[in-house]
Amino acid sequence: MTNLGTYELLNLAQRAGAQAAEHIRQSRYGKDLEIQTKSSPTDMVTKVDKETETIIKEILLGARPRDGFLGEESDEVTSTEITWVVDPIDGTTNFVYGFPVFAVSIAARDSSGTTLAGLVIDVYHDDHFYATLEGGSFLNNRSISVSNTISLSQALVSTGFSYDRATRVAQANTLTHLIGEVRDIRRAGAASLDLCYLAAARIDGYYEIGLWPWDYEAGTLIVREAGGVVASLDSDQPRQELTLAGNPAIFKELRELLLASGLTI
């Protein structure tokens, strides 16, 4: 696809994302969030997640009716053209609590699986992180790049925990191997924003088990276009088993440390 094509996709994502973010802000206060649980008692979804996905889907597929749609809260629409990969609220637990780290994540991928455009909106701060393939990464119109931290011992590393009790206990065990080897650990609670923080040099590395494409697809393009690496243990692509990311200098060390900690996928 031409650059013009990728910018058009980004512009459409911006239009849908801005309306989605506004809906989330309007819905946050003074209303019953109507919380339900999904895979476990700690895995929440609200009425706002579902409404927001509907808003995004209607705008994207209204403008481009032949496209596909893969979202967290609705049935997949398959297509041989562009597929939109959407998380209406990434960081739902934070959203429910009012902890100000939650995002709208929208990516456009072509039929070969290549991500062409990605947008992540930090809803609370109205910060827009975005990238197009070979077009660089931006935060609110300013170009961003990953940090130049060169050693894991100086690295700020973010991670997350599963909603599943046994998995999160195992993740905490892995963390005991890391905590003495890095500058410090962060657990912000929204995977798409962890990736954007990496792209903007707010952290140096990130790993998380059990993510879905709507959590990492937009953020992955934003990290790569900012000069960073996103992969898994045994592949150069992130996978549900592991999303592993860093600036190029610390990525290898982080990967080796995770392997040494006994992490298997």
Minimum distance between the CB of residue 263 and ligand 2AM, rounded to whole angstroms? 16
Size of the site for ligand 2AM (CB under 6 A): 16
CA–CA separation, 90 vs 107, rounded Å?
13
**Binding ligand 2AM by CB under 6 A: which of 83, 92, 132, 158?**
92
Minimum distance between the CB of residue 162 and ligand 2AM, rounded to whole angstroms? 4
User: Who contacts 150 (Cβ-Cβ below 8 Å, separation ≥6)?
Assistant: 249, 250
**Binding ligand 2AM by CB under 6 A: which of 55, 96, 119, 190?**
190
- Contact code string over 211-240 relative to ligand 2AM, x by CB under 6 A: xx--x-------------------------
Cβ-based nearer residue to Ca ion, 87 or 217 = 87
Minimum distance between the CB of residue 105 and ligand 2AM, rounded to whole angstroms? 8
Minimum distance between the CB of residue 72 and Ca ion, rounded to whole angstroms? 5
The reply on whether position 217 binds Ca ion by CB under 5 A is: no
CA–CA separation, 251 vs 150, rounded Å?
10
The reply on whether position 163 binds ligand 2AM by CB under 6 A is: yes
Cβ-based nearer residue to ligand 2AM, 89 or 254 = 89
Minimum distance between the CB of residue 189 and ligand 2AM, rounded to whole angstroms? 5
* Positions in 40-99 near Ca ion (CB under 5 A): 72, 87, 89
The reply on whether position 87 binds ligand 2AM by CB under 6 A is: yes
The reply on whether position 160 binds ligand 2AM by CB under 6 A is: yes
Minimum distance between the CB of residue 143 and Ca ion, rounded to whole angstroms? 28
Binding site for ligand 2AM (CB under 6 A): 72, 87, 90-92, 160-163, 189-191, 210-212, 215
